[in-house]
Structure 1
Amino acid sequence: MSISVYDQTIGTMGPMLKNLDLIVSKAESWVNTNEIDPDAILKARLAPDMLTFIHQIRIATDVAKGAAARLSGLEPPVWEDNESTFVDVHTRIGKALEYFAKFEPSQFDGAEKKAIALKLPFGTLDMSGQQYVLQFVLPNFYFHVTTAYNILRHNGLAIGKFDFLNGGKRPGE
C-alpha cells in the first residue's frame, strides 16, 4: 500500500490541528469557569528550559504550514508570532487549517523525491521530501502538539487520549 505525501501531511496534521483547537477550547472554558489567570496556562511550560504553551502552538502550526508549502513547491508564509490570548491561539490554528484547505493532492505529486533544504538556526538540513516528512515534519509536529497537550494536563485540565486522537469522541460516538 502506498500513502501519498498529501495524506501523510495534510491528511494527518489537519485532523490533529482540529483536535488541538478543541483542546484549546476546553482549556479556555476551564480557565474561565475556574477563574484562573489565562496567562497561567498560556505561558505555562513543563520545564524551565522548555517553551511555553503558546510557543508549542506556534511551532506546531509553523511546521504544518512549512511542510505544506515546501512539499508543494511554495515558499512558506511568514506569520507574526504575537499570540497572547486564547482567541489568538484559536486564530492561529484556524489560519493553519485555512492554509491547508487551499491545497490539492496533485500539488504533492512527486514531493517524496523533491530536494528539501531546511534552514535552521544551527545549519541547513538537506534531505528528500520523504525524509523531510518522516524524519522531521511528523515527529516535530507531534512533539509540539503532544507537549501542548501535556502542559494542559500537567496544569489540571481534564482531557484524555480521545481528546488528543479523536476530538473528544469515543469509539461509536
Structure 2
Amino acid sequence: MSLSMYQASVPVFVRGLTNLRAILTKARAHAESKKIDPAVLLASRLYPDMHPLTRQIQIASDAAKFCVARLAAVEPPSFPDSETTFEELDERIAKTIAYLQDFDASKLEGSDERIVKLNMRDGVLEFPGLNYLLHFALPNFFFHVTTAYGILRHNGVEIGKFDYLGKPGRV
C-alpha cells in the first residue's frame, strides 16, 4: 500500500492542530486558575528574537493551509493575523482544520512531482511537491507547534508529551 500526498499531509496537519487546540485550552484554563492575564501568555516568547505565542499559532495555521493549497495549486483562504485572545486563536485553528477536512483529496493527486516555488527574503526556493512536503512544510509546521508548546510549558502550563502528541490511537 502506498501513502498518498493527501494521507501524508492533511491528517497530519489536522492532528497537530487538534492537539495544539487542546494545549491552548489548557493554557487558557491555567491562566484563569492562576489569575494570570492571558495577554501575558499570548505575548510570551522563548527568546527575545523569536515570535510570541500568538504568532507561533498563526504561522502553524498558515503552514498547514498553505502547504495543501500550494501542492494543489489553488488559492488558500486568507486569515488576517489579528488574533489577540485564546478564543480568537481557537477560532483560527478551527477554521484551518475545517479547510483541511473539506479539502478534496483528488486535488493532491500528482502533487508529489508538481513544482512548488516559495518567494523568500533571500530568493526563490523551488521543490518538487514531495520534497516540499517532507523537507519544508511539515518540519516548518512542527517547528511552530513545538515552539508554542515550549512557550506554554516554560510558563508553567501543565502539559506533557501526550498533550503534544495526542492520545495514542486518536486520529
Q: TM-score range by the shorter chain?
A: over 0.9
CA 1:74/1:154 → structure 2, altered by over 3 Å: closer, same or farther? same
1:84 is matched with: 84
Q: Aligned partners of 2:117, 2:6: CA distance in 1, in Å?
A: 19
Q: Aligned partners of 1:150, 1:94: CA distance in 2, in Å?
A: 21
1:32 is matched with: 32
Q: Aligned partners of 2:156, 2:9: CA distance in 1, in Å?
A: 31
2:61 is matched with: 61
Q: Aligned partners of 2:80, 2:123: CA distance in 1, in Å?
A: 23
Stretches of structure 2 lacking an aligned partner (at least 5 in a row): none
Give per-residue Cα distances to partners, 1:49-74, cap 9 Å, x unaligned.
10000010010000100011111120
Deviates more, 1:116-125 or 1:64-73: 116-125
SS of aligned partner of 1:111:
coil
SS of aligned partner of 2:124:
strand
1:95 is matched with: 95
Q: Aligned partners of 2:20, 2:10: CA distance in 1, in Å?
A: 15
2:153 is matched with: 153
Q: Aligned partners of 1:130, 1:50: CA distance in 2, in Å?
A: 29
Compute the TM-score of the two structures, normalised by the length of structure 2. Answer: 0.95
Calculate the aligned-residue CA RMSD, in Å. Answer: 1.4
Contact 2:14 2:101 in 1 (8 A): no
1:9 is matched with: 9
Q: Aligned partners of 1:42, 1:146: CA distance in 2, in Å?
A: 15
Residue 137 of structure 1 and its aligned partner are, at CA, apart by 0.3
Residue 86 of structure 1 and its aligned partner are, at CA, apart by 0.5
Residue 85 of structure 1 and its aligned partner are, at CA, apart by 0.4
Residue 76 of structure 1 and its aligned partner are, at CA, apart by 2.3
Residue 103 of structure 1 and its aligned partner are, at CA, apart by 1.0
Residue 2 of structure 1 and its aligned partner are, at CA, apart by 2.4
Q: Aligned partners of 2:122, 2:77: CA distance in 1, in Å?
A: 21
Q: How many residues get paired? A: 170
Compute the TM-score of the two structures, normalised by the length of structure 1. Answer: 0.94
Residue 102 of structure 1 and its aligned partner are, at CA, apart by 1.6
CA 1:140/1:116 → structure 2, altered by over 3 Å: closer, same or farther? same
Residue 8 of structure 1 and its aligned partner are, at CA, apart by 1.2
